[in-house]
Chains A and B, each alone.
Chain A
């Protein structure tokens, strides 16, 4: 199977501090990979480096067959990144936000409404300014933004944060469907849950490196660092 992501000895520096300290990672095309690890392990930096938003100081990266630094203009439109922040415009309503995401991705406008509906948002809710919505609803609007872009590589940082049980299941279904359609998903989380049904493979991160193939609970996560599950 083709590799969607190939990282070798990837180093990302913030000043002199290594955010990634020689990370190695392979992700198969069409795979859902969960990246686990405590706060500060480098999960967010890994996702941003894969998106080409953080340049490598050393090492090699190939994402969807492209170099994230040299081919940024070709690669970035193929990527959907959901970070800790939702990337929404608070004064616009949900529909306007997703329509803008659709226009920016050169997708047809009607797909915006469909994407919101797929995330369980419709009626009056999508006409309210996003700033007035609940945290879970805002997260779903952000996911609709991603859905409408139809990315080939989904990079998700704690995507379940703030979602209730019903919508956590919905998100899992959505990711499974995306993979069936050929997309690849890299999902960073420090949640303790059984990822098996969604993602056959988990890797752990620690100190800016990827511990490949490590399954089961990640050691050294303090209970206070584990978010409560809604």
Chain B
């Protein structure tokens, strides 16, 4: 399973290395979203600082939807999904490989967006460990849930518009929990940020386990 995951992740990352869709399209899109938030709240600078974690995670949510959609359009655009289904790759390995590739792209994107938040919103970074672990747990949650729902929607007509509709409510808890954890790390609230990280880790573990077990069945529904 792990070898298969490496094969699939390597393929997806090699494609990204060539096409640079995340770098040249998703990244700039997320930065533009941050910029627009900045314009919208520019009159009220303290409010912008307070809202920065939420705005950051909303931008990450939008990017995650695009990254997951892209990950599956690679498989469906020329019928490569049939090759995967006929291969010796274990479905769980395919799932974990897709998750790893999406998660890695999201982590790079978040590093870019953190710089955007500091520059555009004048946020001061603090609580490094809490920030980093929140980002990691949230990213795994976004990627696992995103890949599961992308597989569900793969056979549906109008999946390009349906997937964001399916994903938004499912990923909302991640955005809320990650926002609260970051607010705590940035000393914008007195809540215990580590409790939110625990919740994020549970969410990620549940979707990782569910996806690993069910991905074969989801691929059969094409």
In the assembled complex, how far is the CB of residue B98 from the closest CB belonging to chain A, in whole angstroms? 14
Identify which of B7, B19, B79, B84 contacts A91 (C-beta below 8 A).
Answer: B19
Cβ of A58 under 8 Å from chain B = no
Known contacts A92-B11, A92-B15, A85 near B79 by CB under 8 Å: yes
Using Cβ atoms and an 8 Å threshold, which residues of chain A touch B84?
Answer: 104
Chain A contact patch, size range: 20 to 34
Partner of A103, one of B7, B19, B85: B7
Bound Cα distance from A31 to B214, whole angstroms: 38
- With A76-B86, A77-B86, A92-B14 as contacts: A87 and B7 at CB distance below 8 Å: no
B124 within 8 A of A: no
- CB-based contact B82/A81 at 8 Å: yes
Q: A77 contacts B18, CB within 8 Å?
A: no
Q: By the criterion CB–CB under 8 Å, are A83 and B82 in contact?
A: yes
Q: Does A89 contact B (CB under 8 A)?
A: yes
Inter-subunit contact A86/B78 (CB<8 Å): yes
Q: Do A81 and B86 have beta carbons less than 8 Å apart? A: yes
CA distance A92 to B19 in the complex (A): 9
Once the chains bind, are B14 and A96 in contact (CB under 8 Å)? yes
Task: Report which of B11, B14, B77, B88 forms a contact with A90, defined as CB distance below 8 A.
Answer: B77
Q: Is the interface of B mostly helix, strand, loop or mixed?
A: helix
Q: Are B83 and A91 in contact (CB under 8 A)?
A: no
**Neighbour of A87 across the interface among B18, B80, B88, CB < 8 A:** B80
In-complex Cβ contact of A86 among B79, B89, B222 (8 A): B79
Complex interface: chain A residues within 8 A of B24 (CB): none
Q: Is B190 part of the contact surface with A, judged by Cβ < 8 Å? A: no
Q: What's the Cα separation between A51 and B88 when bound, in Å? A: 14
Residue on A nearest B74 in the bound complex, by CB: A89
Whether, in the assembled complex, A207 has its beta carbon less than 8 Å from a beta carbon of chain B, the answer is no
Which residues on B sit within 8 Å (CB–CB) of A91? 15, 18-19, 74
Q: Check B15 against A89 for contact (C-beta < 8 Å).
A: yes
- Interface flags for B1-27 (1: CB within 8 Å of A; 0: not) read 000000100010011001100000000
CB of B87 closer than 8 Å to a CB of A: yes
Given contacts A100-B7, A105-B87, contact A53 B82 (CB under 8 A): yes
Task: List the A residue with the shortest CB-CB distance to B220.
Answer: A72
B residues less than 8 Å from A51 (CB atoms): 82, 86
* Set of chain B residues within 8 Å of A100, measured between Cβ atoms: 7, 11
| Nearest A-chain residue to B20, judged by Cβ | A91
Report the bound CA distance from A103 to B77 in whole Å.
21
Contacts A96-B14, A100-B7, A129-B18 known; A89 to B80 CB distance under 8 Å? yes
Q: Which 5 A-B pairs have the closest CB atoms?
A: A85-B79, A104-B87, A91-B19, A91-B18, A87-B83
- Name 9 extra pairs, CB < 8 A, besides A86-B79, A91-B19, A104-B88: A53-B222, A77-B87, A79-B86, A83-B79, A84-B79, A87-B82, A87-B83, A104-B83, A104-B87
Q: List 16 A-B contacts (CB under 8 A).
A: A51-B82, A76-B86, A79-B86, A81-B86, A83-B79, A87-B78, A89-B11, A90-B77, A91-B18, A91-B74, A103-B7, A104-B7, A104-B83, A104-B84, A105-B87, A105-B88
